[in-house]
Amino acid sequence: MRVARSRRVENTGFVCVHCAADVPANSDGHYRNHCPVCLWSLHVDELPGDRASGCRQPMEPIGLVEKSGKGWQVVHRCTACGHRQPNRLVRDGEAPDDLDLVLSLPWL
């Protein structure tokens, strides 16, 4: 039986697996899915927010997409299994995403 966890428990800060930046938790009610400094992520979800992946390998930012209702999203690709996952940008709060780096990504 799977025990339900609250979003508050899952939305924690972390140290970036790629650049070692200390990344604070997001404060807008959404999960922090990637590093605001280098945009790299970690393969922790199979479906957005489920934290169900056993892969746990680094995910490289490979491009941008725009989704209706969610705006621009960074698309990440797992360096181990190839899983792709879009993640919404963090534009406000304590550690917004580096917009120059975001804009350097290609549109997919």
The per-residue pLDDT for range 2-26, each reduced to its tens digit, is 444 444 456 788 999 999 999 998 8
Q: What does the pLDDT read at residue 62?
A: 98
CA distance 106 to 65: 9
Q: Domain spans of the chain? A: 7-103
Contact 58, 18 (CB under 8 A): yes
The per-residue pLDDT for range 82-107, each reduced to its tens digit, is 999 999 898 888 889 999 999 999 99
Q: Give the pTM.
A: 0.84
Collapsed DSSP state (helix, strand, coil) of residue 8: helix
CA distance 22 to 68: 31
Half-sphere exposure of 7 (CA within 13 A, CB side): 10
